[in-house]
Amino acid sequence: MPKKELYCKDCGPLPTSHAETFLDSLITYILPALSPHTVNFFFSPIEKALLKSRIISLNATFSKDEIPLRSFVFIEEARKNNLECFASKTPFGYSNTFFVRHNGKLHSFEGLPAAEHTNTTESTKIDDKMYVKRKLEQNYLPTPEGRHFWFFNAKKAFRYGIQLGFPLMVKPRNGSVSRHCTFNIQSEEELKSAIKKVFRLDPCVIIERFVSNTTLFRATVVDTQFVACAKRIPANVVGDGIQTIQSLIATKNKDHRRKKAPDKTTTLYHITYDHTSERLLKNHGLSLASVPKNGERILLQEKGIIDLGGDPVDATPSIHKDNLSLFQNVATLFNTKLVGIDFLAEDITRSWKEQRCALLELNSLPYIDVHHFPAEGLPQNVAKALVDMVMKYYA
């Protein structure tokens, strides 16, 4: 029986299973070595058996919409370097695994290559937000003050939040794309609701100080050296002094690059107008019929999720040298060859040492495609850096 998929307003527009995510997270916390992101970069006996029995087939020909876009852009770049690449197809369709033949050896990758065989156990824990927070604190790097609590300690979590003081941020200890996260919590009722929201998805909740008046950036580091950085702006429209907000949304959604989620061929999606959008407009005395001033940006979501219509804007050329070093140092600290870093800052062009900022969390399998297809700015070839890494570590 296929697993039941649910659509949840706190997860975004994509189908999700809360029970499966809860269980995966629980296993990850108790047995990190069994984390879904821990991948063996060799052709395992199980894989060989499945291929020999033809349950799994390796296809050299496949379309852009059949595999994840981040994998597709890597494969395109790898083929430019004469590497043979194959997508893995099961009876249920293409999986997240693909294969690369280099120097006569066939290597399997889950989503993207990360050279895990060169890493230590540190790199297997980078998706654990609380572990990352503690490690950053120990090394005197900027991260919001906070603690984590298990689902059976909900009351302690609430009391800690009150003690820490508003505004707060509440989020799952595991997970990505801001699922079940609540920002800028200002009251006890909001705090209670946010904690309950997390425990529907994850057995552990993190309560931390909310870093206000900052912008979210995603830095992707490859082999501790190459860095690409994208500013993540929540779904928005920019006024022209003529059109209403409703008209501006319709105009932006007509952009040929924007598709309806979960289209796999793009990083730009239609703006989702929902209860959050309505609340944000109401808080500013606006409605869909309002006409923003020329150049005025109107936010329609709180989270910079691209599936909700958020804009990834390239900020790579603007990174201050201290911030560049910070990202490289984080990758080195966690001994990982591929990492996505969520960074809050007032201004990416200023040193992190001179402004309000925070390292939020790390991601072991970043969406490199947002750097290849930004809403604004020049593309950054993260895939080329990954191909160079494969050539270096998979001799």
Q: Locate tokens 């895939």: which residue? A: 383
In a domain, residue 196? The reply is no
Domain's final residue, options 249, 277, 301: 301
Q: How far apart are CA 309 and CA 234, in angstroms?
A: 7
Q: Give buried/exposed letters for 248-264 (b at 16+ CB in 10 A, else e).
A: bbeebbeeeebbebeee
Q: What is the chain's pLDDT, residue by residue, as a tens digit (395 residues)?
A: 233 344 577 776 666 677 777 877 777 777 655 544 444 444 455 666 666 677 778 899 999 999 999 999 999 999 999 999 999 988 888 888 899 999 889 898 989 998 877 766 666 789 899 999 999 999 999 999 999 999 999 999 999 999 999 999 999 998 777 788 998 999 999 999 999 999 998 999 999 999 999 999 999 999 999 999 999 999 999 999 999 999 999 999 999 999 998 888 999 999 999 989 999 999 999 999 999 999 999 999 998 889 899 999 999 999 999 999 999 999 999 999 999 999 999 999 999 999 999 999 999 999 999 999 999 999 999 999 999 999 999 87
pLDDT tens-place string over residues 186-218: 999 999 999 999 999 899 999 999 999 999 999
Number of domains in the chain: 2
The residue among 114, 141, 166 that closes a domain is: 114
357 lies in some domain: no
CA dihedral 257, 379, 81, 100 (to 10 degrees): -60
Burial class from Cβ neighbours inside 10 Å (0-12, 13-18, 19+) for residue 190 reads: middle
- Has residue 60 been placed in a domain? yes
Answer yes or no: is 6 within a domain. no
Provide the domain limits for residue 240: 235-301
Is 197 inside any structural domain? no
Of 263, 278, 301, the position where a domain reaches its end is 301
In a domain, 356, yes or no: no
Q: Which residues pair with 217 in a beta bridge?
A: 231, 343
DSSP 293-337: PTT-EEE--SS--GGGT-EEEE-GGG--HHHHHHHHHHHHHTT-S
pTM more than 0.95: no
Residue 154 domain-assigned (yes or no): no
pLDDT attached to residue 1: 28
CB-CB contact of 16 with 6 (8 Å): yes
Residue 147, classed as helix, strand or coil, is strand
Q: Give a yes or no: residue 261 inside a domain.
A: yes
Residue 188: strand, helix, or coil: helix
